[in-house]
Amino acid sequence: MTVPCVPSVDLVAIDMPDAPVGWVRLKVSVVSADPQVAGVSLLAASGQRFRLRKSGQGFDQILLRPAEAGHLEVSGLALSEVHVSLAPSSPWAARWRVAQAVMADVRRLGIRRRNLRTLGTMLRARDFSSIGQRLTARYHRAPQAASTSSSVLTPEGWMRRFMTLTEAEQLALEATPVAGPSFSFIVTGEGDPSVVITSLQNQLGVDPEVLVVGDPNKGLAAANGDWVVLTNPAQRFHPASVFALSQAAQNPEVHLLVADGCYETDGQATSIWANPPWNLDLILEGEGAGPLVAVRRAVALEVGPVVSDVWATPTDLALKVVTAHGEASVAQVPFPLVTSVGSQAHELDQVVAQHLEQACPQAKVLPGLTSGTRHVQWPLPQPAPLVSVLIPTKDRAALLERCLTGLYQHTEYPNIEIILVDHQSTEATAQKLLAQSAERPNTQVLSFSGPFNFAAMNNLAAQAAKGEVLCLLNNDTEVTHPGWLTELVAQVSRPEVGAVGPMLRYPDGTVQHAGLHPNLGSLYGHGHKHFPPENFGYRNRLATAHRVAAVTGACLVTSKSLWAELGGMDEAFAVAYNDVDYCLRVRQAGQQIMWTPHAALIHHESVSRGYDEHPKEGDRLAREAGLLQQRWASGFADDPAYSPNLTWEDTNFSLSDQPRVTPPWRTGH
């Protein structure tokens, strides 16, 4: 069928016919100005959503269609025509597609020993069903492209769908005066202010004060509103901005509001600035506090003066408010209430340096990994504390030797000891390497017997450790940068940081670990997974150190005192989620988890043991997942590095077509 779209739209919903049912081949192609940005989802009548894999310029997938009729959602930019074909197919055709996907993975990533080991286990058990299920699941869940632009919704489409006021909403806001505190908008900077002034004059239900001044500090002194917003001629405000801000401003404990924003080029929204909760390091190393911050006027006058740069002023003011009143004084307003036109690059080095002069004078501001970012180099304690590197291992001598070579020869950190925990190695080469390592003055080898238990092995090693700092390290990691441990120890030596993890990359250079996020494709998923080295992720997130919900135990640095206080790792999590559980307990104790790209390792991802998907290990993984969910049910809604406007269905920080927040003008508040 062909579905015309007149006028051009960003979303087309197409009812599916009742037949055929069962295995079908569904092909969807779109005609638009840029068909590369389209996405397709099949929604069953039950509400289950199934995203189609992209193939070339369209979508061509074989799937088992549910019996109940549903509909297709096709998203893109200015769609003019959608072509859909539905034809009977077979499970054999689907399996061939899966085989092609597997071969493509092998060409890109190679064959890892753990894959072969698991496959061998399944074949010996004649568990062909599990093999098929695993490969099919891999096919359906595999990332389609390592880019934040590979999303179902474009920024333009997202703004149209979720931020455009309906006629009823506009009438309701016009008829109801905004209750709550008053707002003053201070416009500074070069350019014609008529656009920003017009957008403020068109605020629904309120007439805010607007001051056009050359110096923001003079504007703060002259303002009469209870709250102040610093803006510039390159910005334009949503008609319900003041309404939304006033709702959040009514909490007397809140002194700073941070809202999302949108960037526009040639009349089209090109990027959404979707803020996580207040994340200090992300602000210091990245693009600042946000395009829109509002501050209680009395507090702004108390913490001033502020710098005069139009893009740096909001960040400067926000940092000063948080320094004076703490992070509990910040409220997130997760809606893009302001649109900025033009360049997104903000020069914040001066503001960051001034903040650090008070917060930590020994810290240095160095050039970042990409334009618009910076590297805050935190001071290393003097003398450098002893770091105990804890490495569980079994057999695989070549693997362990590569890891140890990186520690002995390519790590510049001056004060380490290495504790190897041998899990009943039987290979002669591994036993010889362990014996040779034990003869080194800074290395000891411990023995561990019984079933594999990552948590127990690290607890054993930690008991023997003499260091003030513990570094959990997998034997399948490889040192590639001499300063990796120095960066991690400097981070964890900050009084507010309880644990830190590095950037981990696959051997092909793509991202394996850049912090863990609850709900992101699994219980805790890896954001930006498979992104290539030249891609710095959503809003340069892969170039900035920042707080995260958890980091992987493949490389995790923490203090021994905190480890002892928390009782180390919970041995009930023998294989999975022991690192997540530890990180959540660190955060529960009031300290933060950091991830930094300024320390990077290669991770050959668990090649020393098999997958957890064959029957026995699958049951174990299910038990440990259930325990994590039972213990930390409330923690799945708490992510210091993720916005409710970003999807949980992919790992690429793309925009969600089901945001987890509703604008206040749609709730009747």
Q: What is the CATH number of the domain that holds 618?
A: 3.90.550.10
| Long-range contact pairs involving 95-104 (C-beta distance under 8 Å, separation at least 24) | 95/132, 97/61, 97/62, 97/139, 98/135, 98/136, 98/138, 98/139, 99/135, 101/138, 101/139, 101/142, 102/135, 102/138, 102/139
Mean pLDDT of 595-599: 98
Q: What pLDDT was estimated at residue 102?
A: 72
Residue 20 binned pLDDT confidence (cut-offs 50, 70, 90): low
Residue 504 binned pLDDT confidence (cut-offs 50, 70, 90): very high
* pLDDT at residue 303 is higher than 80: yes
Residue spans of beta strands (DSSP E) within 292-415: 292-296, 330-341, 364-367, 374-377, 387-393
What is the torsion angle, in degrees rounded to the nearest 10, for the CA atoms of residue 22, residue 27, residue 30 and residue 34?
Answer: 110
Q: How many CB atoms lie within 10 A of CB 369?
A: 16
Q: What pLDDT was estimated at residue 637?
A: 84
Pairing of strands 443-447, 416-422: parallel
In a domain, 413, yes or no: yes
Which tens digit of pLDDT belongs to each residue from 268-302? 898 999 999 999 999 999 989 989 999 999 999 99
Where a domain ends, among 352, 374, 396? 374
Pair 438, 495 in one domain = yes
Q: What pLDDT was estimated at residue 321?
A: 97
Pair 183, 273 in one domain = yes
Q: What pLDDT was estimated at residue 608?
A: 38
Please name the helix (run of DSSP H) or strand (run of DSSP E) that holds residue 569, with its range, or none: none
Pair 284, 431 in one domain = no
In a domain, 521, yes or no: no
SS3 call for 603 = strand
Pair 34, 87 in one domain = yes
* pLDDT at residue 142 is higher than 50: no
Cα(161)–Cα(552) distance, integer angstroms: 36
Pair 28, 167 in one domain = no
Cα(232)–Cα(341) distance, integer angstroms: 10
Residue 41 binned pLDDT confidence (cut-offs 50, 70, 90): confident
Residue 56 pairs in a beta bridge with none
69-80 burial: b if 16+ Cβ within 10 Å, else e: ebebbbbbbbbe
Question: Total domain count for the chain?
Answer: 3
What is the torsion angle, in degrees rounded to the nearest 10, for the CA atoms of residue 453, residue 455, residue 457 and residue 460?
Answer: -140
CATH classification at residue 85:
2.60.120
Where a domain ends, among 345, 374, 403? 374
More confident residue, 559 or 94: 559
* pLDDT at residue 632 is higher than 60: yes
Pair 300, 216 in one domain = yes
**Percent of the chain with pLDDT strictly greater than 90:** 61
Q: What pLDDT was estimated at residue 476?
A: 92
* pLDDT at residue 614 is higher than 90: no
Average pLDDT score over the chain? 86
In a domain, 522, yes or no: no
Pair 568, 441 in one domain = yes
Closest CA to 306 of 227, 221, 226: 221
Q: Where are the alpha helices (DSSP H) in 110-154?
A: 113-124, 128-141
Which tens digit of pLDDT belongs to each residue from 334-392? 999 999 987 656 689 999 999 999 999 999 999 999 999 999 999 999 999 999 999 99
Q: How far is CA 438 from CA 290, 390, 410, 420, 421, in A?
A: 52, 14, 19, 9, 11
In a domain, 665, yes or no: no
Where a domain ends, among 91, 114, 149? 149
Q: What pLDDT was estimated at residue 610?
A: 36
Q: What is the value of pTM for the model shown?
A: 0.83
Residue 145 binned pLDDT confidence (cut-offs 50, 70, 90): very low
More confident residue, 42 or 258: 258
Among 291-305, 440-454, 627-641, which is the least confidently predicted range? Answer: 627-641
Q: How far is CA 39 from the centre of its chain?
A: 21
Q: What pLDDT was estimated at residue 84?
A: 82
In a domain, 108, yes or no: yes
DSSP designation for 45? T
Pair 338, 449 in one domain = no
Pair 123, 202 in one domain = no
SS3 call for 269 = strand
* pLDDT at residue 574 is higher than 80: yes
Q: Which tokens sit at 326?
A: 């703490």
More confident residue, 106 or 159: 159
Q: Are 378 and 404 in contact (CB under 8 A)?
A: no
Pair 336, 426 in one domain = no
The tokens 């006629």 sit on which residue? 167
Pair 434, 564 in one domain = yes
More confident residue, 318 or 43: 318
Q: Which domain holds residue 556?
A: 387-515+550-637
Q: How far is CA 520 from CA 35, 218, 456, 516, 651, in A?
A: 27, 46, 27, 8, 6
Which tens digit of pLDDT belongs to each residue from 88-122? 888 888 778 777 777 766 665 555 555 566 666 66
Q: What pLDDT was estimated at residue 179?
A: 82
Mean pLDDT of 128-133: 66
Which tens digit of pLDDT belongs to each residue from 174-218? 988 888 899 999 999 989 999 999 999 999 999 999 999 999 999
In a domain, 475, yes or no: yes
More confident residue, 575 or 467: 467
Which tens digit of pLDDT belongs to each residue from 266-277? 888 989 999 999
* pLDDT at residue 25 is higher than 70: yes
Please name the helix (run of DSSP H) or strand (run of DSSP E) that holds residue 447, with its range, or none: strand 443-447
In a domain, 168, yes or no: yes
Cα(453)–Cα(105) distance, integer angstroms: 30
Pair 209, 299 in one domain = yes
In a domain, 531, yes or no: no
Cα(183)–Cα(545) distance, integer angstroms: 34
Residue 83 binned pLDDT confidence (cut-offs 50, 70, 90): confident
DSSP designation for 635? G
Torsion sign across C-alpha atoms 445, 450, 451, 457:
negative
* pLDDT at residue 33 is higher than 60: no
